[in-house]
Amino acid sequence: MSERRGLVLGGGGVTGIAWETGLLLGLREAGVDLTTADLVVGTSAGSLVGAQVTTGCSLDELYGYQLRPPRPGRPAAIGPRVLAGFAWHLARSRGDLEEFGRRLGGWSEARADAGRTPTLEARYDAVRERLPVLEWPADGRLVVTAVDARTGALRCFSGADGVPLLDAVAASCAVPGVYPPVPIEGRRYVDGGARSGSNADLAASCSRVAAITPVDRAVGPLRTAGEHLRGVRHRVVSPDDTSRQAIGRNVLDPANRAASARAGRMQAESVAEELGRLWGTS
């Protein structure tokens, strides 16, 4: 096994982005800079944070953005209808992970085609606003995950295939039933979280892995980051009680961004020593 360090950034909505940003900043302030990872795997919210930190964006500036008041408007939500859709397709997939992805993908396409999600243009605008740099990192260390809406298969984007970073991140953030699938090369893709909240197994070739996971649950065929990383030296960090309270019940509500970012930064203090040993900085 190569002596590489991996950073896994999982999904968790708007508040997950804020919490991950605050945590990474707090850890860097404590002397543990996880953004120096040799491999960064980003899923959904984590794909955006991963793209930001690997393209040279300042953690201080990213954190400052999270503290800004949100724009007026009704926030998106993973409401009862969407949760019911997830549960229905999970039950019908009978433990088959790709079948679950196919069902979620088809359902997401139907909702988007019926006008029950924001437009694709609106989603691109939202993602573009958060990506100051639209080019893939030159070192090739970023992997962004998405799921093919028709086959349910995982696709990993890294820039080597010519897919623009904006397209890859927009696809990874396309929460089924909430946001429209993203077309890439004649196919449509949904959130990488349709396969796993972290897809941490993609970092299993590393010798040490830090997994930052706002939402890390094993449901049906979906597996936690810890389950994906068995046999690998790793540490999974998920929101503590204070962070969960700050994040609130709607992970897509930007009104909770600032509190989530502050909570992540504060939580860093409690995990810095252990992560420092893992990362080799203490």
Give residue-wise pLDDT tens across range 168-227: 999 999 999 999 999 999 999 999 999 999 999 999 999 999 999 999 888 888 999 999
Q: Does residue 1 or residue 172 have the better pLDDT? A: 172
End-to-end CA separation in angstroms for the chain: 22
Cα 176 to Cα 81, 107, 219: the distances in Å are 12, 8, 16
Is the pLDDT confidence value at 135 over 70?
yes
pLDDT at 215: 92
Residue that is written with structure tokens 């993908």 in the block: 105
Structure token digits, residue 131 = 């990506």
pLDDT at 110: 96
pLDDT at 40: 98
Cα torsion through 168, 77, 53, 272, rounded to 10? -140
Residue that is written with structure tokens 């999982």 in the block: 10
Strands 208-212 and 39-43: unpaired
Alpha-carbon radius of gyration of the chain: 17
Answer whether 173's CB lies under 8 Å from 79's CB: no
Answer whether 220's CB lies under 8 Å from 17's CB: no
Residue that is written with structure tokens 């990362």 in the block: 279
Is the pLDDT confidence value at 75 over 70?
yes
Is the pLDDT confidence value at 278 over 90?
yes
pLDDT at 282: 61
Question: Among 89-98, 134-143, 215-224, which is the least confidently predicted range?
Answer: 215-224
Q: Which alpha helices (DSSP H) does the chain contain, by range? A: 13-29, 45-54, 59-67, 80-93, 97-113, 120-129, 165-172, 225-228, 241-247, 257-279
For residues 6 and 204, give the distance between their C-alpha atoms in angstroms, rounded to a whole number: 8
